[in-house]
Amino acid sequence: MTDMSQWITFVLVGLGTFAIRLSFIEFYGALRIPPLLRRALVYVPASVLAALVLPAVMFQSGQAAIDWSNPQIPAAVVAGLVAWRTRSTLLTLAVGMGVLWGLRHWGF
């Protein structure tokens, strides 16, 4: 691949990405979203958060460690329970980090 074709590829991919993002901004009020799709879009933030958090919890030192000796797993479970019961983001973060720090402090 020549230098010029690489630059052309970069520019085309950049323009395509820009066009996709701009389309959501420009056509937001003009297009009608079907009710089924609107209900499905409600779950997007939670699924993105899970996709970001799960690898950070499960992968310890670059390898999957699905083991209760990994202190991140019990801390995540406790944080999930707090989030489910209280619906408080700040309390969930505080309890999850507190449990994680406590488990690491006591050598678990």
Q: Which residue has the higher pLDDT, 25 or 21?
A: 21
| CA distance from start to end of the chain | 51
The average pLDDT across 28-49 equals: 86
Structural domain range at position 24 = 1-31
Asked if 103 and 63 sit in the same domain, the reply is yes
Q: Helices (H) and strands (E) in the chain — how many of each?
A: 5, 2
Residue 108: per-residue pLDDT: 72
Asked if 56 contacts 71 with a C-beta cutoff of 8 angstroms, the reply is no
| Separation between Cα atoms, residue 18 and residue 38, nearest integer Å | 23
Residue 49: per-residue pLDDT: 87
- Segment among 5-19, 66-80, 91-105 with least mean pLDDT: 66-80
Asked if 42 and 25 sit in the same domain, the reply is no
Residue 50: per-residue pLDDT: 87
- Segment among 39-43, 67-71, 80-84 with least mean pLDDT: 67-71
DSSP state string for 58-92: HEETTEE--STTSTHHHHHHHHHHHHHHH--HHHH
| Separation between Cα atoms, residue 48 and residue 54, nearest integer Å | 10
Calculate the average pLDDT of the chain: 88
Asked if 46 and 16 sit in the same domain, the reply is no
DSSP state of 29: T
Asked if 39 and 7 sit in the same domain, the reply is no
Looking at the structure of the chain, the number of domains it has is: 2
Asked if 73 and 106 sit in the same domain, the reply is yes
Residue 65: per-residue pLDDT: 63
Asked if 65 and 108 sit in the same domain, the reply is yes
pTM for the model: 0.60
